[in-house]
């Protein structure tokens, strides 16, 4: 009986120890779970804040890009508008340039016909009337050209300008400097500020003898001779 009593006491003690151990373990487990939950909540809050900051940065970057694209589009539109206005003005001013060139040829023929008439010769009345009619046509043609911004190039006795003149010949003239227009073969025309047709001209030059005399009066230095030889 004593053995049975001792056995029962041991079982009771074991049960108490197990109950104590289980109680302590559950309490620790609850604390551990609570700590885990708190940690997870803090981690989730930090992740949420990071995500919010990342989305905000992305939105700011997109807004910045959209502003830059808007500014670029507005600049391109302004350039297109200016280009359109410029082309519109040019089309109004120079749209008839091909027709203007074509109309110059009849005017040239009209001037040649009038210049071929001998003014000193006595003509019958019918020829005089014809000449008067041709002069009136020439005047009206000149007025029409000037109305559309087409003007003659004043070339005679002017310095040769390659931008306005086309040299057709050289004419010896010792009284003038070289490169002066002494003859107009065909009149040149400007359309507003653009060259419509260059003037065909004859340009003055010194005779060979005069050039030789000038060389004797103004002998060239050795440097000028060497430079001239190197160019040749």
Judgement on whether residues 155 and 136 belong to the same structural domain of the protein: no
Judgement on whether residues 3 and 36 belong to the same structural domain of the protein: yes
Judgement on whether residues 11 and 89 belong to the same structural domain of the protein: yes
Backbone phi, then psi, for 79, in 5-degree steps? -65, -40
- Which residue, among 166, 226, 148, has the nearest Cα to 202 in the 3D structure? 166
Residue with tokens 């694209």: 69
pLDDT of residue 116: 84
- Inter-residue contact 94 to 194 (CB < 8 Å): yes
Judgement on whether residues 163 and 232 belong to the same structural domain of the protein: yes
pLDDT confidence tier of residue 189, bands split at 50, 70 and 90: very high
- Which residue, among 110, 197, 106, has the nearest Cα to 150 in the 3D structure? 197
The overall average pLDDT reported for the chain is 76
pLDDT of residue 124: 85
CATH number of the domain to which 230 belongs: 2.30.22.10
pLDDT of residue 199: 93
Distances, alpha carbon 217 to alpha carbons 4, 91, 212, in Å: 158, 56, 9
Check residues 207 and 184 and name the one with the higher pLDDT.
Answer: 184
Judgement on whether residues 86 and 2 belong to the same structural domain of the protein: yes
pLDDT of residue 53: 64
Check residues 80 and 12 and name the one with the higher pLDDT.
Answer: 80
Please return the burial class of 131, using the count of CB atoms within 10 Å of its CB with bins 0-12, 13-18 and 19+: middle
**pLDDT at residue 167 above 60?**
yes
**For residue 159, what is the DSSP state?**
B
Q: pLDDT tens, 196-210?
A: 999 999 999 887 765
* pTM tops 0.85: no
Q: What is the arithmetic mean of pLDDT over 128-134?
A: 88
Give me the number of domains the chain comprises: 3
pLDDT of residue 207: 77
Phi and psi based region of residue 149 (left: phi greater than 0; alpha: psi -120 to 50; beta: remaining)? left
Q: pLDDT tens, 32-62?
A: 556 555 655 665 666 565 565 687 788 888 8
Judgement on whether residues 88 and 31 belong to the same structural domain of the protein: yes
Judgement on whether residues 88 and 102 belong to the same structural domain of the protein: no
pLDDT of residue 125: 87
Judgement on whether residues 173 and 186 belong to the same structural domain of the protein: yes
Distance CA 20, CA 168 (A): 128
Which structural domain, as residue segments, surrounds residue 182? Answer: 151-232
Q: What is the arithmetic mean of pLDDT over 174-202?
A: 90
């Amino acid at each position: 009986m004593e053995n049975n009593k001792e056995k029962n006491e041991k079982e009771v003690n074991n049960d108490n120890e197990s109950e104590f151990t289980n109680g302590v373990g559950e309490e620790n487990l609850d604390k551990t779970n609570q700590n885990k939950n708190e940690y997870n909540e803090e981690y989730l809050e930090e992740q949420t804040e990071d995500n919010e900051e990342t989305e905000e940065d992305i939105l700011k970057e997109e807004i910045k890009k959209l502003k830059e694209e808007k500014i670029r589009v507005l600049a391109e539109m302004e350039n297109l508008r200016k280009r359109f206005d410029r082309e519109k003005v040019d089309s109004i001013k120079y749209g008839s340039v091909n027709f203007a060139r074509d109309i110059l040829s009849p005017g040239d023929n009209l001037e040649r016909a009038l210049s071929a008439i001998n003014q000193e010769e006595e003509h019958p009345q019918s020829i005089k009337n014809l000449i008067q009619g041709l002069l009136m046509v020439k005047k009206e043609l000149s007025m029409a050209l000037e109305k559309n911004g087409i003007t003659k190039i004043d070339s005679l006795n002017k310095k040769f300008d390659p931008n306005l003149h086309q040299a057709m010949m050289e004419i010896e003239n010792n009284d003038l400097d070289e490169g002066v227009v002494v003859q107009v073969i065909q009149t040149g025309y400007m359309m507003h500020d653009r060259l419509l047709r260059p003037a065909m001209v004859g340009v003055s030059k010194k005779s060979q003898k005069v050039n030789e005399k000038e060389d004797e009066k103004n002998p060239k230095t050795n440097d000028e001779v060497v430079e001239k030889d190197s160019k040749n």
